[in-house]
Amino acid sequence: MDIKKLLSEVTAIQGVSGQEGNVAGYLAEQFRPLVDEVTVDKMYSVIAHKKGAGPKVMLCAHLDEIALMVSKIEDDGCVRITSVGGVDPRILPGSRVWVHGREKLFGTIGALPPHLMSAEDRNNNYKMDKLHVDLGMSAEKVRELVHIGDLVTFNTPFTELANGQVASKTLDDRACVAILLRAAERLQRMACDADVYFVCSAQEEVGGKGAQTAAFAIAPDLAVVLDVDFALTPGCGPDVASPLDAMVVTHGPFVQPKLNKRLMDCAAAHHVKLSQNVAGRSTGTDADEIGASRAGVPTVLLSLPEKYMHTSVETISLDTLEEGARLLAHFVSELDASWEDDLWI
C-alpha cells in the first residue's frame, strides 16, 4: 500500500459531515481486498469486517471533514458562508476553496482590507459573517449555479515536507483511517483470532453520530478509537501537546484503564514509542459515544499527533502513522478469549 498516494487521494475527496457518500465509496473499495465483507451504513459510515472466532473488536477512525456551507448570496454575487464543524474564521481570509454547486466552482475567500477597517475592527479577529467567497461572477450567474446549503471545501493540495512529514486538509481524521487500512494489511500476514470491525465513522465533527450508530449495530466487546491530537508547535507547550514522533495514549474516565495498560504493555513489548495524555472529562472523540453504547463498551483512545488541526495545512509524520498501524495490528492480533480476564473486579 502506497500511503502517500492513499493520503493524496483520500484527502482530496469531498466528505463533509452528513454528506460523506463520495469518500465512503472510495474507502469501501480500499478495504475490500483486505477483509471478508464491507458495507456502508445509512449514516455513510464504512464498516469493514474481518471475521474471526475471538473477541469482537471495533477499530474506529472518522472519515468526515470540517467545511463551510453557503448561507446567503449577496446582490454583488459574493457568497456568504457558515461553518460545518469547527472552522476557525481567523484562518479563512485568502483561502482557495471549491464551491460545490451545480458545477464545482473555484473561489477565494475575501474580507474587508485592514486599510478600510476602523481601529476597533483591526483589533478584533475576523468573524464568519464578515467573510465571503468571491467566484468572480455576476449575482445572476451565481444564483443560477449556487444555492443555499451548497458545500464549500478547502482547495489545498497534499504536500510532502521534509523529514517524512506531509501537510494537507482533512488529515483529521483520514490519516487515522490510513492507519486502519495499514493495520488491516498487516493483519493479513499475522495470526489473529479476533473478530475485527474496521469502522470509518461519519459525522464525528458534529457530534460522533456515525460511531454511535455503528457501535450499536456491531455491539463490540471492546473498541480502539483513533483520532488526531495536538502536536508540539511554537506557543503550544508540552502541557497541552505531544511530540510529533510518537502516538499518544489518553487516560481519563472515558478510557478503560486496564485495557489501556494492555495497549501500553503491547507498545513496550514491540518497541513502539508512546506519549501519554489526560482527558479529565470527555475526550472529544468517538471514544465518548462508543464507550457509552448499549450497556457500555471498554474503549481506549490512540491518537496521532498533528500540527495545525482544523486548518488547510494539517501536518503529520508518516513514520508515526506507520508505527501506529504496527501497534494496532499487534494489539489486535494478541487478543484472545482471555482478553478480559483481568479487566473487571
Instruction: Return the active site residues.
Output: 204
> What one-character DSSP code corresponds to residue 236?
B
Amino acid at 159: T
Signed CA dihedral, 277, 281, 285, 286: sign only: positive
Q: How many CB atoms neighbour CB 155 within 10 A?
A: 17
- Among 222, 221, 214, 287, smallest CA distance to 250 is for 287
Indicate the SS3 state at residue 249.
strand
Helix, strand, coil % in the chain, rounded to nearest 5: 30, 30, 40
Burial of 214 (0-12, 13-18, 19+ CB in 10 A): buried
DSSP structure class, residue 43: T
The amino acid occupying position 241 is A
Output the nine-digit C-alpha cell for 130: 464578515
Which backbone phi and psi does 291 adopt, to 5 degrees?
A: -60, -30
Using an 8 Å Cβ cutoff, are 260 and 249 in contact?
A: yes
Euclidean distance between CA atoms 113 and 17, whole angstroms? 32
Task: Judge whether 62 and 227 are in contact, CB under 8 Å.
Answer: yes
Cα 89 to Cα 140: distance, rounded to the nearest angstrom: 27
